[in-house]
Structure 1
C-alpha cells in the first residue's frame, strides 16, 4: 500500500523520552536488549557469513521453527556488528499499529538512533498517522550509515496493516534501513518483489539445521565428546533441530552412559516433549491439536488422508497454516506433508495417553483410505499396525497385488508386516498371503502347507474369485520352481490363460508384475528341465513385456536365466551381454546390488573361467549364494562353477566333493547332472584315467553337446581316435552349437588328426578353432588341450591367429627361444602341487627349502620340477619362473 505524505500536521503524541507506551505502561527494557548467549552457544561460521549479506540487502528474513536457533544466531551476529543497531522483541502485548510503532521508535532510541524531535510516540495504540511513517522514512533515508533494525518474534504481529506500513517505511528509507525479521512464519510483506530484484537475504529451517560435524562441536561444549557416527544418528533423528540437540545433551549429561542415552532416549518423555508440547501443540486451537494427534500415526499425509482420520473437512487449511507457521509440519511435495520425527514421536506418545485405544482405529482408517488410493506398501504397514490381517490379505488377493510382495515392497518389509500372523485361519486369502510370505523367504515346506490349506478352504460365498485363483497359480508356479519341477508351472500357465479373460482389464493392466513373475517362474522351471527353447520363449516374453518399476525385478531374473541358456548352449559372449544389460537395467531403476538371484554373477564367472581368468571367476563366485541356494537352477550353476574353479586350482578332491553334492529337487535336471559328470570326467582325465571319465559321462554323452565333447576327449585319451571323431560327427543332430562347444570339439578333432598323421587337417581345424575362439577369447580350451598343440602354434600362420589374445605378439627383436614352442604357447596345465612348487621357486627357495615347506621329500620336489620344466618347455629354474610369468601363472 502506498502511503503518501499529504502535509497534514502530525497529531501530538507522547514525547519519545517519556518511557511509557500508548497505554501508559512503562517500556520493558528487555524488549530492546540483545538476548544473551549461553556459554554452550556454538557460532557457526557458515551462517554468520550468510547473515553478513544482510548489510547489502534492504530485507533479511531468518525463518525457522521454534527452537531452531534463529534468535541466538542473529543476536551473536548483531553483537559483533560494529554499527548502529536497534533490537525489538515482540510479544502478545504489542498489538495494533500504534503499539508496534511506539515500540519500534523506542527500539531505535535505545539503539542510539533517536528519531527527530518532530516525531513523537503514537498516542493511540490502535492506529498510527501516516505522517509519522513518512517522516521516519525521510529521516532514515538521509542517514550516512544505514540503521540495522532487528525485529524478533515477528510472527506475533498478525495485523496486515502493520506489515503494509513497515514495507512502506522500508521501501522509502532506501539505503538508510536494513530490516532483519526473525520469525516462525512467513511475514505478510511482499517477499516475492524483494526476491525478484535480489534485495532479500533468507535463512530458513534447512540451513539452520546442524550438520553432524556441528553437532559434535555443540555436544562437546555440553561436556559430551561423541564420535561423528553417533552424532550423525542423533542429527538424523532430530533433523538437526538446535533445541532438540541442546535438550538431548542436557538430559544425557545426567546419564551414567551419555552415548547410550543419546542412542536410545525416548522422545515422548522429558524436556524435549515438554518443550514441543508447550511451544507447538498447546499453542494451537482444539481442532488443530486433534488433527496433529491423529496424523501422528502417519509417516506422510495429504489433506484428504488427514480428513479421513479426523472425519472432518478442514485439514487442507490447517496443514497449510501449520506449514507456514513452521509448526514442525514439513512440505513433502505434491500436496503431501510429514511431521518432524521427534514431534511425531511425542504426539504419538501423547495420543496414547490422551485417547487409549484410538491408535489402532486410526491405522485401520488409514489402511482403508490407502487401499482405495492404490498405495499398497503403506496400506500394508497400517493394516499390520492395526493387526487387521484378514483385511490385508483380502486386499492383496482381490486387488491382484500379491505379486508385489515379491517385486515392489523392498527387502525385508513383508517379514515385518506379516510376522504377527500367528495361528491358523479359515480364510483362504490369509493362507495365500501366508504362503507368499513363506515362499518369499524360500520356505518351500511352509509355502506348500499354506497353499494346500488355501486350496481346501471355500471362500465366504462358496466360490473362489478369479483373482484368488490367479494369485494361487502364481504361488504354485513359484513353489514348482523352488521344488525343481516343471509340472506346477505348466499347470499354472494353463490356469492363468483361462482366468485372465474373466478379470477386468483395468485390474490386469494395473498389475503387469503378476504375469511377468509367472512367466519367469515357468521359464526357470523349463530351464531346469533342460527344455531350453521353451524356457527361452517364456523368458523372452518377460523381457519384451511392460518396462515398469513393478516388473523390473522379474525382467532382471529373466535376463540372467537367458544368459545361462546362452552359456549352456556355448555362447559366452551373448551370455555376458545379457548380464551387462541386466546390470544397466538395474542401475536405470536405481537398484542397489546384488541384482537378481545371483545367477548373473555365476554366468560371468563361467565366462571368465572360459577365458582362463580364474581369479576373476573365483571373485565372482564369492559374491553368490553358492551351491546352498534354495533355487535349484542357481544351486546347480554355483555347484558347476565352484567345482571347475577348484579344478583349475589343482584341488581335485575338493572339486569332486562339490560336484558330488546333490541339489535337492523333485525332478532330475539333465544339464545340471551332465555338468557335474563333466567335472568328474575332467578330474579323471587329469589323473590319467580315461576309462573312468567315459563311465562318468556315459549317461549324458548322447544328449548334451558339452558332454559329447568331453566323452570324445576321453576316447582320444584312451587311444580310440575313431570313436572320438564319430561322437563329434553326431553333434550336428543337436543343431548349431556356439563357440563354447564348437571350439573344444574342433580341438579334439585337430588332435585326432595329428595323432592319425594328418597335420594338414590338424592345421585347418586349429585355424578354425583359433578364429572362433578369438571372438570369445576362449583361452582355457586351448591351454588345457595338452602339449601336442605347442609345435603347431609355433608355426607362423597359426601363431599369427593366436597372437595378441592367446599368445603374446611377436617380439620386435628376435623370436622365441630355440627348442621351445614360444614364450606364450599354451601347454599342458600344471597340477596344484606343481603350482605350489613353482610359486616357491619364484621366491628363490632351494629344493630342500621347498621340500621342508611342503612337508614332502626332496625327491618328490625334484619330480615335480621335472614335470614343470617339461610342461613349460624349459630346462632351468630361472627360465621356468620367467615363462610362468609370461603365461600369467604367477
Structure 2
C-alpha cells in the first residue's frame, strides 16, 4: 500500500495507506503521494480531465514547466477522487534512468498498491532490451480491472530503452494499465502514434495556467484580496503560472496593501526571480544561459536574430531544446519563439546587473536586423530602447508608420513610442513626427509650422524621397482640415509623384497610402462643392483597396454613402453606409471618428423616412467633442443666441464634431439640429447649429456646408416664430441650388409674403427626391393658401409619387398641420399610399347618417369584443396578443373580422364606430 498523508478538512483527510514492508526505506518515501498544502486550489476542470483520461485512454500526459502545478494537481486528484483501487505512485529519481533500476522500482510501486497478484514473483533475470520484465506484463494480464500508475518527475528518464519498455508494456498488458506521466518535457514515448490512434489525454502548460477566477481563489486561500481588475493584471503578468502566483501571494502577504504591492512589484528582485534563476537558468549550459539572457530583450525570437545577438550559430537547436523542455520558451508560428514574459523580465534585470552596458548594444543590433528583415515597427521599438532617437525618427518618418498618428483608432504602437522623443532632437524627420502629432490633434497651425521646418530641411536632401513623400501626405491632411482645395490638389499631385518614385522594398511599402490620398482629396473636393469630382476620387480609393480586409476602406465607403445620399440615391447610400460600418467593425473602429460619417448618413436616412428613434440611435454612436452637446441633441442654452449668429454670409456656423474633420462636424451639427426639430424643439436645433461656428481648422467657405445648414436654420427659425430672422439668415444674395431656394421660400412664406415664396421656388423642381418632395409640398401649401385646391392636389399627388420609392415620410411629417387637414378632405390622394403614417391617411369624419348609425352586418363575438376593448386602450397588436395569450396572426384575423362586421377599414374607425353603437 502507498502511504498517503491526509490533512484536516481535505476530502481524504485522516485516511492512511502504508508502504509495503519489503520496500527499502529510501524507496518507500518515493512510493507515497506527496501532501497537498492547505492553500491549494482544487481545479475541477483539470481533475475531471484526469478522470476521463484514465477511463478512456491508456496514456495521460501532464506536461508543463517548473512550477506549473503538475504534481499538486495529480496529488489532489489521487486524494480527492481515487479510482476503485488506489493508483500506484512513483516519484522518479536520477538513478531510475537505467532499465534495471527503473523496472525494479516500477514493480515495487505496483506491489505497494496491491496491483500485482501475490502469485506473481519477481524478475529472475534481466529483460531483453526494449522490454519490461515479463512478470510485470504477465501479472497485469491477470487483473480484472486496469491499474493506474503515476510516474512523477518523468523528465529524468532520458534512456530510450526505458521509454521503449514502457510503450511495450502499455501495448502488451491486455489493456490493464493506465499510465499517468508527470513531466517538464515530452517523454521519449512515440506520442505521435498515441495521438493518431486517439489513445492519449494531454494536459499541457496552457491548460495548467490559472484563470482569473482561480487566481482569485488562490489569493483568498492566502488571506489576500484584490480587485477584479488587479486580479486580471496579476494573472496576465504571470500568464497564470502557478508557482509565480503562489510566490507573489507569499510576498504580498507581508505588505499592508497588496494592491499597491502589485503596482510596485518588480519581478527581477523577488522570490519569483530566485525560483526561476535557480530552477531554469542555472540548470542550463553556459551557451544556453547566454542566449536566454541576450534574447530576453525581444518580444519574439527568431533563431537568426538570436545568432546575431549571441555571435553564435546554434540558436535554432538551443531554442528547440528549450521549447521541448518547457523551459519557459514557447514556439510561435513559423520559426519564431518567445520567452515567458515574467521570465524575460527577470532575465532583463539579471542582464543589466551582470552586463550594464550590453542592453543598448543588443537593442541596436536587434533594430538593424529587424529593419533588414522587413519588420519596421519592431525595429523602431528597439532603436528607441537603444536611445538612438535619430535613427528611429528617420526610419519612422520615411516609412508608412507615420500614418499611425492619423489612424481612426488612435496612435498605433509605434507612434506611441515617440511620446518621449527628446524636445531637443532636430532634423527633418523629427519635425515630420511633430507635424503628424499636431495634425492628429487638430492643431493645424502647429502642424503646418513643423511641416515648413521639415520641408526647409529636406531641400538639401533631394534624394530623400520617402521623407518628402511623408511631408506631402501631411500637407494633404492639413489641407483637408482647413478645407483648402488648391492646397489639397497640389499636395495630392506631389504625393502621387513621389509615391511612384519610392522603392517598393518591404520596409517602405505604402500599401494604404493611395487610399488615404484619394480619400482626403475627395473630402476637400466635397467641402468645396464638387460632389462629382469627390465621387471619382472615392471610387478610385475603393478600387485601391479591394476586399473587405483593407483597414482604410471603410472611410471612403462612408463618404461615398454621403455623396450618394446628397445626390438623391437613398438606397445605394444606405447600402454603402452599412457596408462601411461592417468593415469598420472588422477593425474595431465602428465607433471612431472616421466611421462617424456612416452613422450620420444612416441617421439622415432614418429622419427622411420618419424614423427619429433609429436616427437617434445612430447619432449616439458618433463621438461628440463638445461636452455641452449631449448626444441626444441637448445643448447648453445659456449664452447662446436664439436667432442671430446661426449662419454668417460667407461661412457656415459649425462647431466641434467628430474627429476634427470639417465634413463630419457640419454633418453632425445638421443631423442633431434636425433631430431637435423633429422633437419639436427649434431652440435646441439652433443651439446645435450655433455650436458649430468653427468647423475644426477650416478657413475656406464651403458652398456644400452652406447648402446643408441654411435650410435647417431657416426651418428652425420659422418653427421658433421668427420669420424675419429666417429671411435675414439668407442675406440679400440670391439663393443657389434647390436646397437654398427652398430655404428662401420658407422664410418668405413665414414672413407672410406668399408671392415672394412662390417666386423663390423653381418652376420645375430638380435635385434629390427629398428636396423635390419638399419643394412640391411648399408649392402646394402656397396654392392651398391661395384657395387653389385643384393645383394644390396636383402638386401633392406629385410629391407623394416622388416620396414613395424611398418611403420618404420625413418631408411629409415636417410639412405642418395644413397637410393633414388637406388630406383629410382629399382621402383619394392617399388611397394608393399605404406606406404613409397614420395621421396622413386618416379620412375626414363622415357626416352623421344612416350608414354611420347602422348596426354591424354581423354581431361581434366575445373574443372580438375583447380584442376591440384592448385596441381602444391603444394597445399594439403584439400587446393585445400577449394580454389575451393569442398569436399575433390570430389577433390580426380578429381585427379583419371586426372591420368587416363594422364596415370600417382601420382600427381607429372601428373603435369610434363601436363606441357610437355602444359596443364598448
Equivalences for 1:162-201 in 2 at 5 Å?
162-201=162-201
RMSD of aligned alpha carbons: 3.2
Cα separation, 1, equivalents of 2:194 and 2:507: 53
The answer to whether the aligner puts 1:119 opposite 2:122 as a matched pair is yes
Cα 1:73–1:122, aligned 2, differ >3 Å: closer, same or farther?
farther
Equivalences for 1:376-415 in 2 at 5 Å?
376-399=376-399, 401-407=401-407, 411=411, 413-415=413-415
Structure 2-normalised TM-score?
0.80
Equivalences for 1:8-27 in 2 at 5 Å?
27=26
**Residues 438-487 of structure 1: per-residue CA shift (max 9 Å, x gap):** 2223232232121111111146x742423222221111000111122222
1:434 deviates by: 2.3
Residue in 1 that maps onto 2:488: 489
1:69 deviates by: 1.3
**Which stretch has the larger CA shift, 787-796 or 502-511?**
502-511
The answer to whether the aligner puts 1:804 opposite 2:835 as a matched pair is yes
**Which stretch has the larger CA shift, 576-585 or 362-371?**
362-371
Equivalences for 1:737-748 in 2 at 5 Å?
737-748=767-778
Please point out which of 697, 719, 728 is paired with 1:686.
Answer: 719
Cα separation, 2, equivalents of 1:568 and 1:350: 64
SS of 1:803's partner is coil
Cα 1:463–1:190, aligned 2, differ >3 Å: closer, same or farther?
same
Cα separation, 2, equivalents of 1:91 and 1:329: 25
Are the aligned partners of 1:65 and 1:184 in contact in 2 as well (CA < 8 Å)? yes
Are the aligned partners of 2:409 and 2:592 in contact in 1 as well (CA < 8 Å)? no
SS of 2:512's partner is helix
Equivalences for 1:431-830 in 2 at 5 Å?
431-458=431-458, 462-504=461-503, 510-547=509-546, 551-553=550-552, 555-589=553-587, 591=589, 593-594=591-592, 596-626=594-624, 627-629=655-657, 630-661=660-691, 662-663=693-694, 664-698=697-731, 701-729=734-762, 736-794=766-824, 795-807=826-838, 817=845
Are the aligned partners of 1:65 and 1:327 in contact in 2 as well (CA < 8 Å)? yes
**Which stretch has the larger CA shift, 280-289 or 374-383?**
374-383
1:381 deviates by: 2.5
Are the aligned partners of 2:558 and 2:577 in contact in 1 as well (CA < 8 Å)? yes
1:655 deviates by: 3.3
**Residues 221-257 of structure 1: per-residue CA shift (max 9 Å, x gap):** 2222445444333222222222122222222221111
Are the aligned partners of 2:593 and 2:622 in contact in 1 as well (CA < 8 Å)? no
**Residues 78-120 of structure 1: per-residue CA shift (max 9 Å, x gap):** 3333415322112233332223223223333433446867534
Are the aligned partners of 1:400 and 1:467 in contact in 2 as well (CA < 8 Å)? no
Structure 2, unaligned stretches of length 5 or more? 1-19, 625-654, 849-872, 874-907, 913-920
Cα separation, 1, equivalents of 2:407 and 2:713: 39
Are the aligned partners of 1:700 and 1:708 in contact in 2 as well (CA < 8 Å)? no
Cα separation, 1, equivalents of 2:123 and 2:461: 88
SS of 1:71's partner is helix
Say how many residue pairs are matched.
793
The answer to whether the aligner puts 1:81 opposite 2:112 as a matched pair is no
Are the aligned partners of 2:593 and 2:623 in contact in 1 as well (CA < 8 Å)? no
Residue in 2 that maps onto 1:152: 152
Cα 1:475–1:700, aligned 2, differ >3 Å: closer, same or farther?
farther
1:408 deviates by: 9.6
Structure 1-normalised TM-score?
0.82
Cα separation, 1, equivalents of 2:763 and 2:365: 69
Structure 1, unaligned stretches of length 5 or more? 1-15, 21-25, 821-841, 843-877, 883-890
Are the aligned partners of 1:458 and 1:464 in contact in 2 as well (CA < 8 Å)? no
Cα separation, 1, equivalents of 2:217 and 2:228: 10
Cα 1:198–1:688, aligned 2, differ >3 Å: closer, same or farther?
closer
The answer to whether the aligner puts 1:363 opposite 2:366 as a matched pair is no
Are the aligned partners of 1:360 and 1:386 in contact in 2 as well (CA < 8 Å)? yes
Cα separation, 1, equivalents of 2:828 and 2:128: 105
1:403 deviates by: 3.3
1:404 deviates by: 4.9
